[in-house]
Amino acid sequence: MASFLRGKQAGIQNDLSGGILPGSFAPDEQSRYGINSQVSCIAYEPVQSLLAVGTNESKFGPGKIYVFGQSRVHKFFTPSRPTSFRQLHFVANRLVSLDARNDVAIWDLDTAKQLAHYTYPGTSCLATDPMLDWALIGLHNGDIFAYDLDRERPSPFRIPHFWQERDPRARDVALIGMQLHPKDIGRLLIAYNYGAVIYSFKQNLPVKFFEYQLAPGAPGGNSEGLGSPRKPRLTHAVWHPSGTFILTAHEDGSLVFWDAKDGRLITARSIYATKVNEPSARPSEPTPVAPITKISWCCKENPDDTALLIAGGQALDDPEQGMTFIELGPTPIYATSSWEILAAHFGGKRRLTLQTPPGAKVLNYCLIPRTSPHFAGAQDPIAVLTMLTSGELITLSFPSGFPISPTDMLHPSLSFVHPFVQKVAVATVARGRWLGMVEKRNQGDIILKGGAEAAKRRRRYEARNIIQVAHADSTIRMWDVGHADEIENPTQLQVDIARAVNRYQDVEITAMDMAETTGEFAAGTIAGEVVIYRWGGNKYFGRDEPKPMDPNPGGISDISSRAEPTLKEGLQPFVLYEMMQGPIIVVSVSDVGFVAVGSQNGFISIIDLRGPAVILQMSTAELTKHEKKSLFKGHSSSSGSKEWPVVIEFGVMTLEGDNYSSIACFVGTNLGHVATFKLLPSGQGYSAKLAGVVNLSDKIIAICPINADTGHAAAATGPVVASLREGQQVNGTLVVVTQTEARIFKPATAKGASKSFDSALCDAASVTELELFPGFALVAVFNDRSARAYSLPGLKELGRKTLPMLDASRTTSAIVARTGDVFGWTGPSELVILPVWGTGKGLENSLDTIINPELVSPPRPTISNLQWISGTQYVSPTDLDLLIGGADRPPSRRMLAAAAEEQRSARAAGAGGGAAAGGSQEGWGEYLTRQLNERTEKLNLMGDSMDNLQASSQGWADDVGKFVKQQKRGLLLGGIKKSLF
């Protein structure tokens, strides 16, 4: 009976919810965008062109791994128990992770399943190689173990604590890092906090030790403790791309270059000065420096043309904070260069600072190489993805350091921390309009190209939910979030509000809206400005020539010259409205050329874009003059309270007392007023006047103009407005939701019908439509993390479901779209999309294909002929596989393929006769064992040959010496005979 009476009171004769079946209200967890917690580690795979991101465990959930490919390709990986991830490595089309619980785990990239895991106590670091089936695990106590990635089990192979064996009296010696030789995989560089060691797998012993010592008077990296000898603790150790040199970084900021062959120190420098290991007559003042968090020895396509990229090591008072790039240039030829030449080379050619946002330090970074996975992922990088202490990511070009926008470069989820999100809005845009909104923008190489999206069902809705995400750097990105269906236009749009307002400081975006059929877009700022964009071409394309203009408070200015010079076609800045009445709280863009704006100081403006001109500006204080006295006690507004607009909507309907339909603008305030403004033609434009005010109980949450006969939105669209000239009318009504009640009434002043909510407060609401089962219902989200549906017009509860995944502290930021999708925050940087008219399914992983099996890693670089001739004992990946695994371990298919490739290469070079003789008769063990023995024999024969050559050369030199002596003696005797006779 109550529902029946509400329908009569609301003036709606039809049951708009009659087609909704029982049980239809069952929210699905369709998808999530963003990152669930703070980013802890990142890794890039250049062959497959994939990016992996690991996160920390937090109150919002366990750490996760995300793998992203091109466009919307992605997978997420959830551990079996809560943990934080510390390191990620791509190996053999699988992912290897090390977490805070010391678990080493292997993940299948296509199924997102954990294949195996093993726990090593006190794990400090993990080292892998793209061509190796082994992971080396370093423990804090100095031991190193090998984990068999192919057999998915630990191996008995162990490398002991060499530094403790060298110096048993040393205390608290910890292993902090490892790196395999870039060309000779048989050598491992081990970094302890006391020094570095080169370990030979073939000889099974350390071959060189490196310990950095400063004599009294030597400044070191920070000029502290000059009066005494020091041994600064080591923090990092890396190979030169050719393996000829070693670089160690120390806690005082010293960068020390070593000869890897004989272990001698070549030179030491800091970021700012050279030869810091030598005593100075004029030492500088002590300078505290930031700890070095990461260092990479990069190279171009030619591995001898190198540079250093350093995170940290800068003076704390340096005004330019960021990463440091030191270009070294082509490496001098080792065999013909003196120590002075090498020391001068490591002094560097130039130094650049890749600047990062102020107040944030670089915690970690990941280089994006063009094609090669070798040289520690540092060959020919095109960009660097930087992780800041704030938890944000920033992408910079390499080596210039210019910021790279993630728009259409990275998956939209990564943009939620690139940088952080300040505001989110959702607009339901017509499919035809959205399909035509594809930007034409000059961009560099796409960073992520891997993977393939799974086929999805054909589009489900004509209307597309376009999310608008405002970031801390004043950019706004927009894209189609989809309905778990095929996304026909997956590209992203971007606008730069800071450029539009010509101010790059203190630009915070507070309100956004997009028109459903025209695609016009407006954004408001905390300073009281509104920027309006229109789709079109850029007449200033390729030119950065913004026209100077004076401030225009209260006026509208043409800002088309502030278009981005790289954007040929897209959303272009149209006009700037400087309202300047406090922060913009709400903005609404109609499809018929009107924009309405509400500010925190309590002002309302309506702009006619046909001028453009401001056709209305008034204060909310004037609303009370027209307020109709309520028949219910306690519904009057609070006297003396500050009031401002919070919701604005446009619609077309016949207002109460009129016999024609008109364009109306409905404004809801924080104190519960709903004002109706009538927009009527006036001369060459339009005028706006207040038609009436209704006072409800409290803050307005949603205003939904609907057609009382059909339930569809009574939207102000072009065709509907054009039909008004022919006298057509829209029998419309308003569904208004406040924090404590829902009310249906005919504007501008009718009472209508209402329903009060229980103890929970409503945070978001909208009238939604079901396409599969025609019907309309009011859907609302409450602060107890519940979602509820109410019938129209009876306001009978159709269903109630708890949404436990929502962050209880951010339910006020939830959004209910007209399609029935709830957008809510699950954490600081992750948004969940919940279609309420579903089946109650939980979140499912994507079915995207991540790995392309046809893409194969290029062969690992090898040592040069000169190094071979000089006696370097090269060990190939197949040799190392045998050395670590032993003869009893069957080789993997990768190792068999690698061995066959080595055999073919040797045969092609004329050195494979012996190997070919064995043919297919010998097994894998015999072949690999013989191969290793042959390598050893060749090395020994070469050594004997070199010894014989030396002996022969010495004999020849002795013979020449004897001959010269005989000639001298004969010459002397001949002269004496001549003088005597």
Query: Looking at 130-262, which runs of residues are DSSP E strands?
Result: 134-139, 144-148, 153-159, 175-180, 187-192, 196-200, 205-210, 234-239, 245-250, 255-259
Torsion 210-216-217-222 (CA) sign: positive
The helix/strand/coil state of 405 is coil
pLDDT in tens, 69-126: 999 999 999 999 999 999 999 999 999 999 999 999 999 999 999 999 999 999 999 9
Residues 436 and 431: their CA atoms lie apart, in Å, by 9
The residue that leads in pLDDT, 964 or 770, is 770
DSSP characters over 515-569? -TTT--EEEEETTSEEEEEEEEE-TTTT---PPP----TTSEEE-GGGS-TTEEE
> Which of 296-305, 546-555, 858-867 has the weakest average pLDDT?
858-867
pLDDT in tens, 726-736: 999 999 999 99
Calculate the CA 511 to chain-centre distance.
Answer: 24
Burial of 662 (0-12, 13-18, 19+ CB in 10 A): buried
CA distances from 594 to 674, 684, 705, 736 (A): 19, 15, 17, 22
Q: Is the pLDDT of residue 635 over 50?
A: no
When pLDDT is averaged across residues 579-603 and rounded to a whole number, the result is 97
* 430: β partners: 463
What's residue 633's pLDDT?
A: 37
The 3 state secondary structure assigned to 104-130 is EEEEECCCCCEEEEEECCCEEEEECCC
Torsion 922-926-929-930 (CA) sign: negative
The helix/strand/coil state of 695 is strand
Quote the mean pLDDT of the chain.
89
What's residue 972's pLDDT?
A: 43
The residue that leads in pLDDT, 932 or 742, is 742
User: 2 pLDDT band (50/70/90 cuts)?
Assistant: low
Q: Is the pLDDT of residue 930 over 60?
A: no
Per-residue DSSP letter, 442: -
When pLDDT is averaged across residues 673-677 and rounded to a whole number, the result is 96
The helix/strand/coil state of 497 is helix
The helix/strand/coil state of 392 is coil
pLDDT in tens, 358-377: 888 999 999 999 999 999 99
pLDDT in tens, 215-240: 999 999 999 988 899 999 999 999 99
Q: Is the pLDDT of residue 568 over 90?
A: yes
When pLDDT is averaged across residues 156-164 and rounded to a whole number, the result is 95
Q: Percent of the chain scored above 90 by pLDDT?
A: 76
When pLDDT is averaged across residues 759-788 and rounded to a whole number, the result is 93
At how many degrees (to 10) do helices 893-908 and 924-980 cross? Answer: 40
What's residue 963's pLDDT?
A: 52
The residue that leads in pLDDT, 410 or 917, is 410
DSSP characters over 36-103? SS-EEEEEEETTTTEEEEEE--BTTB---EEEE-STT-EEEE--SS---EEEEEEETTEEEEEETT-E
Q: Is the pLDDT of residue 6 over 60?
A: no
The helix/strand/coil state of 677 is strand
The helix/strand/coil state of 768 is strand
The enclosing H or E element of 869 equals helix 865-869
What's residue 925's pLDDT?
A: 46
Residues 6+ apart with CB under 8 A from 534: 520, 571, 572, 574
> Which of 96-110, 226-240, 294-308, 635-649 has the weakest average pLDDT?
635-649
> Which of 206-220, 829-843, 910-924 has the weakest average pLDDT?
910-924
What tokens were used for 799? 């269903």
User: 876 pLDDT band (50/70/90 cuts)?
Assistant: confident
Q: Is the pLDDT of residue 480 over 60?
A: yes
What's residue 227's pLDDT?
A: 84
Residues 790 and 779: their CA atoms lie apart, in Å, by 6
Residues 6+ apart with CB under 8 A from 570: 437, 439, 440, 441, 493, 494, 535, 538
Q: Is the pLDDT of residue 866 over 80?
A: no
